Amino acid sequence: MKRADENVMSVVARRASMTCFSDSTSQYSHRVRIVLAEKGVTADMIDVDAAHPPQELADLNPTASLPTLVDRDLVLWESKVIMEYLDERFPHPPLLPVYPVARAESRLYMHRIEKDWCSLVDSIQNSRSDNVVSKATKELREGLTAIAPIFAEKPFFMNEEFTLVDCCLAPILWRLPSLDVEIKSTRQTKPLLNYMSELFNRESFQESLTEREREMRS
């Protein structure tokens, strides 16, 4: 354990500024990059091949998972933990509601998005079974179509302001063409399509995109 701690401190000492180890195609890394851009925080962005993580990352994070954030002597992984840390560390603009009830609701929305939709994206991208991919594609398309009307009521996901919930949803919506998930323009889906257009034109979102992510919609 002592040797491992020494390795971590050695790596941290070499990185005086905030560093984010990121997968240029992962929805989970993308959401963290959106938060960094929204906050206007400059971080050294290190693009990592998730299948071949560098030793430096393994020294910092025993799971070698992505994204991993290094801020001085603090090392964080798990995207939602990183997102909330950044929101508290850099409070302007706030990306979670002020009041406890609304904050709890936002956290629940993030949990639901991850459980219901992020898992489907993972299945589409990683499964070798055509049946699994087909089923996940259908469920994702139907799930998004079902919630489309809520965007007629508020400009963002169940909120008047852009929040961490939108940061979780935006990477999924951006990836739809690469996942072969088509949201056809209908009266029901129009609010969702308008929401997507607003999200994608947002300055912070454009700044968050990697070259490989831009190719997903080229």
pLDDT digit string, tens, across residues 65-115: 999 999 999 999 999 999 999 999 999 999 999 999 999 999 999 999 999
**Which are the contacts of 138, defined by CB distance < 8 A and separation ≥ 6?**
none
Bridge-partner residues for 16, per DSSP? none
Number of domains in the chain: 2
Compute the mean pLDDT over every residue in the chain, rounded to the nearest whole number: 93
Tens digits of residue pLDDT in 176-207: 999 999 999 999 999 999 999 999 999 999 99
Using the Cα atoms of residue 194, residue 178, residue 36 and residue 88 in order, give the sign of their dihedral: positive
- Same-domain check for residues 126 and 180: yes
- Same-domain check for residues 74 and 166: no
Which residue range is the domain that position 27 belongs to? 2-89
- Same-domain check for residues 42 and 137: no
Last residue of a domain, one of 89, 122, 137: 89
199 falls within a domain:
yes
Alpha-carbon span 36 to 211, nearest angstrom: 17
pTM over 0.75? The answer is yes
Mean pLDDT of 7-23: 68
- Same-domain check for residues 77 and 120: no
What is the CATH number for 48? Answer: 3.40.30.10
- Same-domain check for residues 74 and 145: no
What is the CATH number for 155? Answer: 1.20.1050.10
Alpha-carbon span 75 to 10, nearest angstrom: 13
